[in-house]
Amino acid sequence: MEFKALILCFIASILITPFVKKLAIKIGATDKPNQRKVHQKLMPRLGGLAIFLSFIIGMLFFFPDSQYTLPLIIGSTIIIITGVLDDMRELSPKVKMAGQLAAAIVVVLGGVEVEFINLPFGEGKLEFGMFSVPITILWIVGITNAINLIDGLDGLAAGVSSIALLTVSGMAITMGNTFVVMAGFITLGSTLGFLIYNFYPAKIFMGDTGALFLGYIISVLSLLGFKNVTLFSFVIPVIILGVPISDTIFAIVRRFVHKKPLSSPDKSHLHHNLLRLGYSHPETVLMIYAMASLFSLAAVIFSQATMFGSVFVIFILLVLIELVVEVTGLVGQNYRPILNLVKDYRTKR
């Protein structure tokens, strides 16, 4: 059933995207080149609307009666409206945040809430109590913005999101979570259909409409997929979403170090730095796909590992993240503690 949903939404997205492209041009939802942008010509953006419409078709056709379907559709509609308005006229950060908070509250009212997390190295659990709702909302808003931040190259956000959706859905199959499996494959099919038009050289951008929508859906499904499951915790979805989360965290660190406002945009995200290192546009995207796939593989291994194995996986991931940060200059060109240590060691020898 899930593969039928994927194929239907994939075809629907392929058919809908050209119409959305024409609509974007007609209503002025276009992306103009500037010093922060990689593209050099005016591009229609609103592609996320095609992903959303395909998603709605899939959800109503395959899973209309779940308790989570209506809240997810209402919440994602709020996100889409916020994204469309931003793609048309560039909303202020406060208005965008208000839309994200409203969408998060809708699914919380619909029953999506993290009441506790199972500790990864034992049978215990950590109860959130009165903090469960704020933590749930913070997770949804945080992941929504993390996906939005990596949407800087043709096919990048769509591809990374697809890898995350495939991993979350695949792990949900092993846990028998039918809703997450179906919703995940529906979103995956919708995203892959759009990716045909979005991969380099892109014919249309997903815009904030798509990046916010994908971030929102992934954040909710990752909560539902690992909710109240023995020996699972927030660690697994955090690993799956390692690329966008890491990029977001180091963007915050970078702005703090350089004493810039957290909301100030820059051209020092992972994809920008890889381009500066001399990699081509498609090479950079494929490298980040590989990183996202590595994180997803690590999440699967972590979920099946012993205590020692889990600690080892986390250690290796942290070392790899640090090396990538230093090589690419994600925090700053002079931040290279491990590489300098290796260099000094070699010099002394």
**Would you call the peptide bond into 201 cis, given omega within 30 degrees of 0 as the criterion?**
yes
What is the model's pLDDT at position 231? 44
Q: What is the DSSP string of 166-180?
A: HHHHHHHHHHT-HHH
Q: How far is CA 217 from the centre of its chain?
A: 9
Determine phi and psi for 134, rounding to 5 degrees. Answer: -60, -40
Do the beta carbons of residue 55 and residue 9 sit within 8 Å? yes
- Measured in Å, how far apart are the chain's first and last C-alpha atoms? 61
CA 34, CA 19: separation in Å to the nearest integer? 26
Based on the structure, what is the number of domains in the chain? 1
pLDDT for residue 252: 85
What are the per-10-residue average pLDDT scores of the chain (349 residues)?
Answer: 91 97 91 61 89 97 91 97 92 93 96 74 70 91 92 93 95 89 96 96 93 96 72 74 91 80 75 91 95 94 83 92 89 81 77
For 239, the domain range is 2-348
Count of other CB atoms within 10 angstroms of residue 25: 15
Asked whether 120 and 310 are in contact (CB, 8 A), the reply is yes
Separation between Cα atoms, residue 133 and residue 128, nearest integer Å: 9
87-95 long-range CB contacts below 8 Å, 24 or more apart?
87/24, 87/29, 87/45, 87/46, 87/207, 87/208, 87/209, 88/27, 88/28, 88/29, 93/263
Q: Residues 238, 303: contact at Cβ < 8 Å?
A: no
pLDDT in tens, 42-75: 889 899 999 999 999 999 999 888 899 999 999 9
What is the model's pLDDT at position 36? 53
> 205 — phi, psi (to 5°)?
-95, 155
Rounded Cα–Cα distance for residues 9 and 115 (Å) = 33
Nearest to 329 by CA among 288, 265, 269, 280: 269
pTM: 0.91
Q: Report how far residue 257's alpha carbon sits from residue 265's, in angstroms, rounded to the nearest whole number.
A: 15
| CB 183 within 8 Å of CB 314 | no
* Count of other CB atoms within 10 angstroms of residue 177: 21
Predicted pLDDT of residue 230: 44
Q: What is the pLDDT of residue 268?
A: 79
Beta bridge partner(s), residue 45: 205
User: What pLDDT is stored for residue 149 in this prediction?
Assistant: 87
